[in-house]
Amino acid sequence: MQTKRKQPIKIAVFNQKGGVGKTTTVFNMAGILAKSGAKVLVIDVDSQANASSSLLMENMADYDEKHGTVGGMLDEVMTLKDLIEVPSRINDAIIKAKICIRDGYAAKWRGIDVIPSNSKLQDLRVEDMDDEDSLYTIRDAIGLIRRTRKHAYAYDYILFDLPPHLGELSVAVLAASDHVLVPATVDSYSMNGYGELMDTVDSIRNMGLNPDLDIIGVFFTMIQPLQKYDRSMYQDVREQLGSVFIDTPIRSNSNAKLAAHIGCPLCWLKRSAGVTQDYIAVTEEVLHRCGALKEGEHLPNLSDGAGEDLSERLMK
């Protein structure tokens, strides 16, 4: 009897406003999931390629040393542009991210793979928006990932890092996703972006492109709990959004920038830091909501999350 192929949980991290921490969320969530023992594929959909640059920093350094270039690797990689043209090449586009978690230690693969991006994605158009099949190209490409000697496993999670605008490529990614996770900042522009995203998700469902697509949660990033405006906005949005709101804010902290700068997710770089615990809590809540974790269950290989509950400070 043929066993049913395991299906990864596919999460698009998206807000139709920039500067809300989408890439930082993907970067650190991928690290947390991998550290817990999961196999994770990050697909970079943003032509700025920030997720690619951070997760593949050690790979890029090796490439530059071998070829005598500076940042030359991303110019040569396969991206979603290639996969939309030839979906069957998806296995060839996957790069095993090498991550160094401590000075003096060798960089090695730790469970995160990447389909990278580069500037060529900026002008990418899905062939024919009127042809529904063309909008399923990314979904179909993901279905063609095969277990090989190089990739001898199935992914548990696929995380998409989307650009801060709705284009044909973003629609195709949403058509391929199970859930949308929305980072937001404490300002009206960010929440306007969320409102636009709600309309987008409703349209995708109503058009039949992905009837089961849902917004799994909205959470605040870069929170400063001592700022009166941040506290007030947090409380207002928490009340307005109800159950879709993830009541775990991500605090503003320089460690998050440091982690991205050196290519090492927070769960390895600063495991006990408050901002790391924030991201762990958000990741676990997302997994609870999509059924990957039982209520009260925590991810293994991570700290227990004990410490200050930032959301309580914001509600005072």
Q: Give the CATH number, domain containing residue 105.
A: 3.40.50.300
User: Quick one: residue 43, left, alpha or beta (phi over 0 = left, psi -120 to 50 = alpha)?
Assistant: beta
Confirm whether 147 is domain-assigned. Answer: yes
Residue 307 has pLDDT above 60, yes or no: no
Q: What is the pLDDT of residues 1-21, one digit of tens each?
A: 344 567 899 999 999 888 899
Quote the domain boundaries for residue 291: 9-314
| Count of structural domains, the chain | 1
Percentage, residues of the chain above pLDDT 70: 87
Burial class (CB in 10 A: 0-12, 13-18, 19+), 262: middle
Highest average pLDDT, of 117-126, 241-250, 299-308, comes from 241-250
Residue 282 has pLDDT above 80, yes or no: yes
In this predicted structure, what is the pLDDT of residue 255?
93
Confirm whether 168 is domain-assigned. Answer: yes
How far is residue 55 CA from its own chain's centroid? 12
Confidence of residue 192 (pLDDT cuts 50, 70, 90): confident
Taking alpha carbons only, the member of 179, 264, 248, 252 closest to residue 213 is 179
Q: Are 177 and 11 in contact (CB under 8 A)?
A: yes
The residues, ordered by sequence, that sit 6+ positions from 10 with a Cβ below 8 Å of its Cβ are 142, 157, 158, 160, 176, 177, 178, 179
C-alpha 234/C-alpha 228 separation (Å) is 10
Residue with the bigger pLDDT between 289 and 232: it is 289
Confirm whether 302 is domain-assigned. Answer: yes
In this predicted structure, what is the pLDDT of residue 230?
74
Range with the poorest average pLDDT among 55-64, 157-166, 235-244, 293-302: 235-244
C-alpha 311/C-alpha 316 separation (Å) is 9
Please report, in angstroms and rounded to a whole number, the separation of the first and last CA atoms in the chain: 58
Confirm whether 4 is domain-assigned. Answer: no
In this predicted structure, what is the pLDDT of residue 238?
85
Distances (CA, A) of 101 to 98, 107, 266, 268: 10, 7, 10, 6
In this predicted structure, what is the pLDDT of residue 2?
45
DSSP state of 136: G
Confirm whether 3 is domain-assigned. Answer: no
